Structure 1
């Protein structure tokens, strides 16, 4: 089967693919989207039911393919994770992190660990800690909604601070991106506090009506701060400085409606990750529906792109081969080739390089399509997160409203970036849900006489404070009735959490390759991952985050409960290798994934060290463009979705220019 007569063929229907489809379809261009996952449901009721029934409320738990089946659990597979070799579109999930060395449970193949590594070795390899979706609408199905611009200095990290690399053009790239940032902000429908963000932007040399672009504003006022936010936004905390920079609590711009509009107004549901039950939060199906309504855009679901064809003479892309299926574990039902004049890859920062690397049967490109630079799959990055948590001195009533409504943006840039990573601090409204799997962990502690939460025993924290919540109770107390309810309410209502989004430097050895031995059910190779957190730059960021957390908790009068992880294990039994914890400067750390998968087909100003140019166009094939966070040369400090959307609007403009 050959599909042809299209102006543009797109792989992936997430935020980048949907925006480009909408922009071109609105201009009369015929567009085909190939989406590997299932079609978008008429409503999200089934997803909500799956989420409610899931034992683990992970980012992926509502969505197909099914991520957990307790009825299929065994001693070796207690979560009942499906075998990726038996799924047509497997993808990486949070639950697979602990099973990262088990190919029957984890979609990724991992490179072997070097032998006899010390606990603080920079050569240690880890599980990748962020997940993604393969479904109509892509990973916006489980994003939080945070909509932040990057700063001009983020685009010139090498020039200004001597670290990493610059984006092509440096800060001038920011200038060029400003109108597209504004377009993305309006399109997504961002709720934000202009005055508060103006103050932050001005501190980093960004003017809203001068130096870096035209006057901008948010389409809607910001979401109201939570009581958790207000407990941090007090003079003892805001009087603190970090490397001579004041700690400033700022409302977070968010892609969710604060007022009724085309989407419903935020109703304060607490499960924004993974799913907003009323679609007050933007997801890419909003744009996808607009694209389809142009009458010029078609989408084919359950079509897995398997190979990119090149013309042997011109080296232009001549088609994209795909495989079709009906059910997740069913047989292949067909195949075909999608043919267009131009092509846009937007299948995420793991699946896009996998497709490029699979397409290695073309003359002149033995390393894969668009890979003459050998940069495809390299420089895999994430915001590696440090979590800290504690109990406020007074009730702050978490577990209500969007999962995060404020943060610390003032620490995202400064002279310190010459020696350590920058970070933004996200204030969590979900208590210890992420940090300690509450409310379940603390409930089990006081029902069964355990102390996993440290609130029901004799543990002393690093500040020599006893962590037992009620000193009148015996250690490992077993409670019931009114006393149990009163104790749990006293703990749950005071839980606070900080998350540090620590920037990671590009490292060419952190990469996506093709597995030599593992395939999915369609016979396509699975991604092979090499991932390290090895530079002192990043590890110094963890040391700073640890110190700052303690200072913040002390300033607000909270008691810190952040746990120290066990000693890392990097040799011996592969099934017992450390997944996400390491040692540095005598401290043990655990890192978490922010869900921000970045950098595997970066743009640049030279063909020799990048995959695409400043127009997001392949250096090797002029009718091939790419989108998504894989384009980013550095991860910077802001959540990436607004930048992904801005780049998609920018790329759409260039594609239309090339048609004309």
Structure 2
């Protein structure tokens, strides 16, 4: 059964806010902060627990967690638990091991008919998923906005790059992006003359400098394999009262010293205005639509106290305008849950596109070992400080998906869970890591010496492959699997297109050529039993989720085939906006956070002007 409307509860009773926002992440935080600065009253509804006064509680959760997964520091932590027991479910890394067992996976996944599992996760806590992002803050490139018209794939954005450039500058200032324009000249026209980032680049790792020298002059597919420092929202000097990056290796899952920007910075700034109220532990359950003018008249919510205790109250938040900032799975879920006799397909869904076009950056992962005489000393400094960006926007996109190459500075932690797996192999006499082919058993000094020789030579490349919009990849509702509040869990249908699969094939060839050029021995393996396995032209691959969940309420130029316009205003409801990566009609290869922030500034400006009339 579907949830029903309810009456107002303490916290919103009798109050009409200028703007009601669902979601206290980066997009909701920016909109709230910008509107509060204009003396407007804002309410934020957040399903998860409050931003803690100190991140030390989260650090302690991370230290004591048996699995050091991205979500380990954050509540709740339902490892191998039934998602139906929790008020606020979320996709976790642990779910991926249980992808075929719907009783243990929050995302209910269809895996038949050439479908593959959706393998990205997200948080539902105050501050959102930016708690455990890496800080990568690349701009989308001009061709990313013209994928269909220029390369014949997917969809175009209804916004040109030129109009995004000043918004990117605002986002880079808000987030404190460290970089220098001179290092980003793999494409012309990205910056206006004289532009400078808020602070200089984070220092590159020893690994990056070594590879840079080894790849000098190397070209693949006609493009130079130059390493460029990655723009990152990590402080290279004191900024916004936050400390300088100290080179901790655990940006994911949590920066222990708050040198990396996260959404709590902007949310706390918004709260200091006195114009923003946040209702935590408050789950938006229905978007109500006025039957006369089609405008949104309120958002019903359910409050909770105990994570497994069910509902503690109900209410309706009322505003002049409404903004959904609840991530690319929870936003369409809310719109679809709001269906009624007048709108049987859900709110804002006259186009039938709500929930459709689910995208990620499916990730091709490879790894290698440098020669003994060329150690690279990984695990000193952030997880990644550089990438190879030269294949992100070239004419090759007509034939295969673009990809960027992130150079990993954490050894083989991502591929095989080192520095844990290889020691286990040498203790037990096994060879899961492929680094103990003689099945030796070592201990004491011999073990330490062997590990030291191996760990100082490990590195990996993560290839973020472009994905084109596909209406068959979608989020819908699974009423047969509900959460503790009785709301349907997300039902996922997901398919990798042939275009994206061909991008994987090219990424493998490029990575292998890079390893050969630097003299490294490649150890990449493919697991045919894993549910992420697929083939293209007879070659087998596995993929990972990048955590970059996009699409599902796409932006467009026509209400016939999109959910929002270029201002992120819903075509169907004049006072409803959607912000966040769910509005992306194409993914490009840049991590989405900077673009999310840039578009949030745009929407906040428009709302401010409309409310000032």
- TM-score, length-scaled by structure 1: 0.89
User: Is contact 2:25-2:325 (8 Å) kept?
Assistant: yes
Q: Give the distance between the partners of 1:327 and 1:237, measured in 2 at CA.
A: 55
2:393 alignment counterpart: 413
Q: CA deviation at 1:240?
A: 2.4
User: Which consecutive unaligned segments of at least 5 residues does structure 1 have?
Assistant: 69-80, 115-123, 210-214, 458-474, 569-577
1:565 alignment counterpart: 527
Q: Are residues 112 and 545 of structure 1, via their aligned partners in 2, closer, same or farther at CA, if it must alter by over 3 Å?
A: closer
Q: 1:378 aligns with which of 328, 335, 356?
A: 356
**Which whole-Å deviations, capped at 9, do the CAs of 1:183-217 have from their partners, x for residues lacking one?**
000010011122111x1231xx43432xxxxx421
User: Is contact 1:616-1:651 (8 Å) kept?
Assistant: yes
User: Is contact 1:98-1:579 (8 Å) kept?
Assistant: no
Aligned 1:76-95 pairs, distance under 5 A: 81-95=80-94
**Which whole-Å deviations, capped at 9, do the CAs of 1:160-195 have from their partners, x for residues lacking one?**
1111111114xxx22211111100000100111221
Q: In structure 2, the residue corresponding to 1:607 is in which secondary structure?
A: coil
Q: Give the distance between the partners of 2:111 and 2:517, measured in 1 at CA.
A: 44
Q: Give the distance between the partners of 1:369 and 1:655, measured in 2 at CA.
A: 20
**Which whole-Å deviations, capped at 9, do the CAs of 1:93-117 have from their partners, x for residues lacking one?**
1111120121221001122513xxx
Q: CA deviation at 1:330?
A: 1.1
Aligned 1:505-584 pairs, distance under 5 A: 505-533=468-496, 535-566=497-528, 568=529, 578-584=530-536
Q: Does 2:338 correspond to 1:359?
A: yes
Q: Does 2:253 correspond to 1:274?
A: yes
User: Is contact 2:165-2:190 (8 Å) kept?
Assistant: no
User: Is contact 1:60-1:67 (8 Å) kept?
Assistant: no
**Which whole-Å deviations, capped at 9, do the CAs of 1:424-472 have from their partners, x for residues lacking one?**
1000111100011111110100000000010111xxxxxxxxxxxxxxx
Q: Does 2:607 correspond to 1:627?
A: no
Q: Give the distance between the partners of 1:225 and 1:109, measured in 2 at CA.
A: 41
Q: Give the distance between the partners of 2:439 and 2:353, measured in 1 at CA.
A: 54
1:575 alignment counterpart: none
Q: Does 2:452 correspond to 1:489?
A: yes
Q: Does 2:219 correspond to 1:241?
A: yes
Q: 2:139 aligns with which of 142, 149, 153?
A: 149
User: Is contact 2:165-2:191 (8 Å) kept?
Assistant: no
2:5 alignment counterpart: none
Q: Give the distance between the partners of 1:158 and 1:449, measured in 2 at CA.
A: 53
2:281 alignment counterpart: 302
Q: Does 2:600 correspond to 1:638?
A: no
Q: 2:413 aligns with which of 433, 454, 468?
A: 433
Q: Give the distance between the partners of 1:201 and 1:187, measured in 2 at CA.
A: 24
**Which whole-Å deviations, capped at 9, do the CAs of 1:383-429 have from their partners, x for residues lacking one?**
01001111112221111211110001111011100010001100011
Q: Give the distance between the partners of 1:479 and 1:304, measured in 2 at CA.
A: 53
Q: Give the distance between the partners of 2:137 and 2:369, measured in 1 at CA.
A: 28
Q: Does 2:435 correspond to 1:449?
A: no
User: Is contact 1:97-1:579 (8 Å) kept?
Assistant: no
Q: In structure 2, the residue corresponding to 1:238 is in which secondary structure?
A: coil
Aligned 1:67-216 pairs, distance under 5 A: 67-68=78-79, 81-114=80-113, 124-169=114-159, 173-197=160-184, 199-202=185-188, 205-209=189-193, 215-216=194-195
Q: CA deviation at 1:583?
A: 1.8
Q: Give the distance between the partners of 1:561 and 1:376, measured in 2 at CA.
A: 41
Aligned 1:461-500 pairs, distance under 5 A: 475-500=438-463
Q: Are residues 253 and 64 of structure 1, via their aligned partners in 2, closer, same or farther at CA, if it must alter by over 3 Å?
A: same
Q: CA deviation at 1:39?
A: 0.3
Aligned 1:46-57 pairs, distance under 5 A: 46-57=57-68
2:404 alignment counterpart: 424
Which stretch of the first structure deviates more once superposed, 236-245 or 395-404? Answer: 236-245
Q: Give the distance between the partners of 1:325 and 1:65, measured in 2 at CA.
A: 13
Q: In structure 2, the residue corresponding to 1:329 is in which secondary structure?
A: coil
Q: Give the distance between the partners of 1:516 and 1:87, measured in 2 at CA.
A: 16
Q: Give the distance between the partners of 1:630 and 1:401, measured in 2 at CA.
A: 32
User: Which consecutive unaligned segments of at least 5 residues does structure 2 have?
Assistant: 1-7
Q: Give the distance between the partners of 2:343 and 2:166, measured in 1 at CA.
A: 36
Q: Give the distance between the partners of 2:310 and 2:158, measured in 1 at CA.
A: 45
- Number of paired residues? 598
**Which whole-Å deviations, capped at 9, do the CAs of 1:338-379 have from their partners, x for residues lacking one?**
000000000000000000000002x53210000000000000
**Which whole-Å deviations, capped at 9, do the CAs of 1:45-87 have from their partners, x for residues lacking one?**
111111112222111111001143xxxxxxxxxxxx2210000
Q: Give the distance between the partners of 1:579 and 1:142, measured in 2 at CA.
A: 25
Q: Give the distance between the partners of 1:208 and 1:12, measured in 2 at CA.
A: 33
Q: In structure 2, the residue corresponding to 1:609 is in which secondary structure?
A: coil
Q: In structure 2, the residue corresponding to 1:608 is in which secondary structure?
A: coil
Q: In structure 1, the residue corresponding to 2:607 is in which secondary structure?
A: helix
User: Is contact 2:285-2:338 (8 Å) kept?
Assistant: yes
Q: In structure 1, the residue corresponding to 2:609 is in which secondary structure?
A: helix
User: Is contact 2:147-2:154 (8 Å) kept?
Assistant: yes
Q: Give the distance between the partners of 1:127 and 1:439, measured in 2 at CA.
A: 28
Q: Does 2:549 correspond to 1:597?
A: yes
Q: In structure 2, the residue corresponding to 1:156 is in which secondary structure?
A: helix
1:615 alignment counterpart: 567
Q: Give the distance between the partners of 2:100 and 2:336, measured in 1 at CA.
A: 23
Q: 2:21 aligns with which of 1, 4, 10?
A: 10
Q: Give the distance between the partners of 2:505 and 2:488, measured in 1 at CA.
A: 38
Q: CA deviation at 1:237?
A: 1.9
Q: Give the distance between the partners of 1:67 and 1:57, measured in 2 at CA.
A: 14
The RMSD of aligned alpha carbons is: 1.1
Q: Give the distance between the partners of 1:67 and 1:402, measured in 2 at CA.
A: 28
User: Is contact 1:177-1:650 (8 Å) kept?
Assistant: no
User: Is contact 1:448-1:478 (8 Å) kept?
Assistant: yes
Q: Give the distance between the partners of 2:89 and 2:191, measured in 1 at CA.
A: 44
Q: Give the distance between the partners of 1:216 and 1:200, measured in 2 at CA.
A: 16
